[in-house]
Amino acid sequence: MDETAKTDAPLRFRGVHHTARPTWKLKETVEFYRDILGLPLAHVISARGWGPAEHPDFLHFFFDSGNGSMIAFFYYLGDEQPEHLVHRPAYDNDATHSAWRVHSREELLAWRERLEAHQVPILYQIEHEVIESLYFRDPNGYLIEITLPLRQLQALDVSDADLTIRAAVAEESRRLAAGEGKLQKIESVWRAKGEMLARGDAPGGREAEFA
Amino acid sequence: MSVTLFVVDLPEFSALVNSVRDAGGCVLSRMDSGYWKIEAADELHFSRKDLGLGPALWNSALSGGFRGRIAAFDRSEIRLVRDEEHPS
């Protein structure tokens, strides 16, 4: 096998090992994840600062989030929270979040009850296309999602995803070439996708009349 | 020239297809690519209340793609009309 063939061989991730975010609230964060959510504290690294000269000493602590995954935090000693890392509750800040899986609607509702019993405000409970989710915040303001998959993804989800992304990239490229700037409205993507489907530019793109 | 809406044949979007199945004035066909094609001469109209869609699905109701122009898309109604400026 030559080098190119080696690097092009299929590789897959095998799930989440840990997510990691910084915190400037040690006690509150431990109490929230360990005592309110009830996630076991699984591992802690406590170390002198190393690496860059300005790196502070730190605690790096991990909570068990199931299936071999962990939710981790860095607590930097003597470090003031910089302004640009203050979490603001806005759609673009909240885009950075993780969604934790449950197996049944009963489990999802049990989490809701648990959170409400501990006076943790539920921001939303929403049914999306293929999941139903609860949203709330931790003491750092970080958005947390607990989600129930409503159905298995299938081949059509994959081909539709491919078509939507191809339409979006093609439409943005067209706009940029025409001096119209980046995508502004989703309507333009839906129109581009419609034109691609009308041309038969999709897997199995021939049409069968519905009787 | 007409207005066309494509709807991916997945369960969460079936309300859109079912709502036009028995309606007059449009033609429903199933494409091999996995999309329903809904065609009307001048206009397609959907009411959120009739479809029973929550906000997330309502806001992606046209995500299968279309040919035409969005004349109205608010919290309760979608009107897709023939596009006179960019005829298909």
Residue A148 near residue A107 (C-beta atoms within 8 A) = yes
Q: How many domains does chain B have?
A: 1
Residues A127 and A159 in one domain: no
Alpha-carbon gap: A110 to the closest alpha carbon of chain B (Å): 22
Residues A128 and A185 in one domain: no
Domain of B68?
3-81
**Which pLDDT tens digits describe chain A residue by residue (211 residues)?**
566 666 778 899 999 999 999 999 999 999 999 999 999 999 999 999 887 778 899 999 999 999 999 999 999 999 999 999 999 999 999 999 999 999 999 999 999 999 999 999 999 999 888 999 999 999 999 999 999 999 999 999 999 999 999 999 999 999 999 999 999 999 999 999 999 999 988 764 444 433 2
Distances A176 to A173, A185, B45, B85 between C-alpha atoms, Å: 5, 14, 33, 21
Residues A109 and A72 in one domain: no
Residue A99 near residue A146 (C-beta atoms within 8 A) = yes
| Record: contact B34-A159, CB cut-off 8 A | yes
Q: Is A175 part of a structural domain of the chain?
A: yes
Backbone CA torsion sign across A209, B3, B8, B11: negative
In angstroms, rounded to a whole number, what is the distance separating the alpha carbons of residues A165 and B13? 19
Torsions phi, psi of A192, nearest 5?
Answer: -60, -40
Coil vs helix vs strand at A22: strand
ipTM of the complex: 0.95
Domain of A164?
155-198
| Record: contact B64-A126, CB cut-off 8 A | no
Contact residues on chain A for B35, CB-CB shorter than 8 A: 197, 202
| Record: contact B56-A130, CB cut-off 8 A | no
CA A146, A148, A152, A156: dihedral to nearest 10 degrees?
A: -70
Write the CATH number for B18.
3.90.56.10
In angstroms, rounded to a whole number, what is the distance separating the alpha carbons of residues B47 and B67? 19
Residues A48 and A23 in one domain: yes
| Record: contact A127-B8, CB cut-off 8 A | no
Q: Is B88 part of a structural domain of the chain?
A: no
What is the CB neighbour count within 10 angstroms for residue A149?
12
Contact residues on chain A for B36, CB-CB shorter than 8 A: 210
Residues A120 and A163 in one domain: no
Alpha-carbon gap: A132 to the closest alpha carbon of chain B (Å): 11
In angstroms, rounded to a whole number, what is the distance separating the alpha carbons of residues A199 and B2? 15
Q: Is B87 part of a structural domain of the chain?
A: no
Q: How many domains does chain A have?
A: 3
Residues A37 and A25 in one domain: yes
